[in-house]
Amino acid sequence: MIDLQAIGQHTHIPTTARRLLERPERQLQLTLNLRTTEKHLFQAYAFVVYWNTARGPAKGGIRFWPDVTLAETTDLAERMVYKTALVGVPFGGGKSGIAIDPRGMSIPEKDSIIKEFVHLIRNELFGADYIPAPDMGTTPRDMAVIFGETHRPETVTGKPVRVGGLPGRAQATGRGTATAAKAAMEHLFGRSCGGCKVAIQGFGNVGSWAAWFLHELGATICAVSDVDGGIYSTTGLDVQALTKWVWSGKSLSEFGQGERISNADLLTSDVDLLVPAAIGGVLDETSARDVRAKLIVEAANGPTTPAGQEVLTGAGREVVPDIVANAGGVVASYVEWRQGKSGSLTGEAETYETIDEHICDAFTRTLAVARRESVSLRTAAEILAVDEVVETMRDRGWL
């Protein structure tokens, strides 16, 4: 993900540090075998990757999706290294994934798969080397199943509140996205989010909570979408009704407001703020040319390709990169992990306050470097994150 050679033009990266950062520390490719009936053997590839653990145990979610690969898991693990470093939480970067489609899967089937996965990586979990959390295709309930297998609250984050989870954890990534958008609007454009027109691609947990918090800040949510397409209203959607509709399990397409649009149309909506909160690579060299939003805040991991970033920068669009914008989740994960180890209790308001503090600090420092070095916010964030990891490796005697 990070071009160390390019970053090295702005900050010194020792040769040893460069060698340690240009490849993962550990990659596991496993075959998950599970006999589901007398005649049926379920099989799926599973992956666990640690990119760098200088700053602490590998932190990263468990992804259940049919096209998960070792390459994708590795890329996401690397992103986590720099995300945790930038927002100042003592974790390294990791990720795991199982190449299955959770949609339509029964609860007992999914529980069995999770338990077998825990069995396969039990040394990683009990050794506190890897700390999972929910990701695409997994939920807090799934994290509760992991907790049920380990009986240690600090081995997994993103659990339901009643089983050692953190109040506000489900909202955390969306909260951080809204906070990053607010900071960017104020510092880059000299205005609040009040009255801003917003389009959000992806209306799952992250996108829906981002919409909720942006609406609370006074923004007008004009367009949202899911995998099947989206809806658009130039005067704004009823966010409270919409989120409750989707959270109740109903289809976005059946919500009786707005006109139907495609995901591609959403990206080019006439709005002030675009929040890609779905999958990676949606803003490429082609789609980025038609983006009209002044500000893009990356709630998803890697929604903008390098070529797409060049197009957006050339057009004067500002992009708050994912390692800033969607780091609210890992900040909350740290608070939950700390709570699990200490037995302390944290309230929802304190969770939000901690997220806001870390995200605002990361954005402010990123903007300062961007202006000092005359680079994009993405490059500035990467400079800061690489510096932090390099200095940590120096502190540990690795350099």
Distance CA 291, CA 151 (A): 48
Domains of the chain: 23-163 (3.40.50.10860), 172-325 (3.40.50.720)
Reply yes or no on whether the pLDDT at 200 is more than 90: yes
Per-residue pLDDT band for 35 (boundaries 50, 70, 90) equals confident
- Hunting for tokens 């947990």 — which residue is that? 205
Task: Please count the other Cβ atoms lying within 10 Å of the Cβ belonging to residue 398.
Answer: 14
Per-residue pLDDT band for 279 (boundaries 50, 70, 90) equals confident
Task: Please count the other Cβ atoms lying within 10 Å of the Cβ belonging to residue 148.
Answer: 15
Distance CA 293, CA 229 (A): 19
If DSSP codes are grouped into helix, strand and coil, which group holds residue 23? coil
**What's the DSSP call for residue 57?**
S
Distance CA 89, CA 96 (A): 20
Element (H, E) at 200: strand 197-201
Reply yes or no on whether the pLDDT at 116 is more than 80: yes
Q: What is the pLDDT of residues 345-365, one digit of tens each?
A: 999 999 999 999 999 999 999
Per-residue pLDDT, 104 = 85
- Using the Cα atoms of residue 184, residue 190, residue 192 and residue 194 in order, give the sign of their dihedral: negative
The residue among 6 and 40 whose pLDDT is bigger is 6
Per-residue pLDDT, 93 = 97
| Over residues 288-313, mean pLDDT | 96
Per-residue pLDDT band for 81 (boundaries 50, 70, 90) equals very high
CB pairs under 8 A, 24+ apart, for 72-75? Answer: 72/97, 73/47, 73/48, 73/49, 73/97, 74/24, 74/27, 74/49, 75/1, 75/302
Residue 369: what residue type?
A: V
Mean pLDDT of the chain: 95
Distance CA 259, CA 237 (A): 11
Reply yes or no on whether the pLDDT at 232 is more than 80: yes
Distance CA 157, CA 318 (A): 32
If DSSP codes are grouped into helix, strand and coil, which group holds residue 172? helix
Per-residue pLDDT band for 71 (boundaries 50, 70, 90) equals very high
| Over residues 4-29, mean pLDDT | 96
Report which of 43, 46, 93 is spatially closest to residue 65, judged by C-alpha positions: 46
Q: Could you give the C-alpha distances from 388 to 62, 66, 214, 285, 299, in angstroms and in order?
A: 25, 35, 30, 31, 23
Reply yes or no on whether the pLDDT at 383 is more than 90: yes
Reply yes or no on whether the pLDDT at 1 is more than 80: no
Reply yes or no on whether the pLDDT at 332 is more than 90: yes
Reply yes or no on whether the pLDDT at 251 is more than 90: no
| Over residues 155-165, mean pLDDT | 96
Distance CA 197, CA 220 (A): 5
Distance CA 183, CA 44 (A): 42
- Taking each helix axis as running N to C, give the angle between helix 70-87 and helix 348-373, from 0 to 180 degrees, rounded to the nearest 10: 90
Q: Are 327 and 300 in contact (CB under 8 A)?
A: no
Q: 37: which residues sit within 8 A by CB, 6+ positions away?
A: none
Which of 95, 159, 182, 197 is the catalytic position?
95
Per-residue pLDDT, 329 = 96
DSSP assignment string, 315-337? TT-EEE-HHHHTTHHHHHHHHHH
Per-residue pLDDT band for 222 (boundaries 50, 70, 90) equals very high
The residues with which 275 forms a beta bridge, in sequence order, are 200
Reply yes or no on whether the pLDDT at 249 is more than 80: yes
If DSSP codes are grouped into helix, strand and coil, which group holds residue 27? strand
Q: What is the pLDDT of residues 307-325, one digit of tens each?
A: 999 999 999 999 999 999 9
Q: What is the pLDDT of residues 167-187, one digit of tens each?
A: 999 999 999 999 999 999 999
Tokens of 49: 């990757």
The residues with which 32 forms a beta bridge, in sequence order, are 44
Report which of 383, 370, 329 is spatially closest to residue 82, judged by C-alpha positions: 383
Q: Are 368 and 384 in contact (CB under 8 A)?
A: no
- 95 is known as an active-site residue: yes
Reply yes or no on whether the pLDDT at 36 is more than 80: no
Q: 39: which residues sit within 8 A by CB, 6+ positions away?
A: none
Reply yes or no on whether the pLDDT at 230 is more than 90: yes
Distance CA 367, CA 365 (A): 5
| Over residues 229-238, mean pLDDT | 95
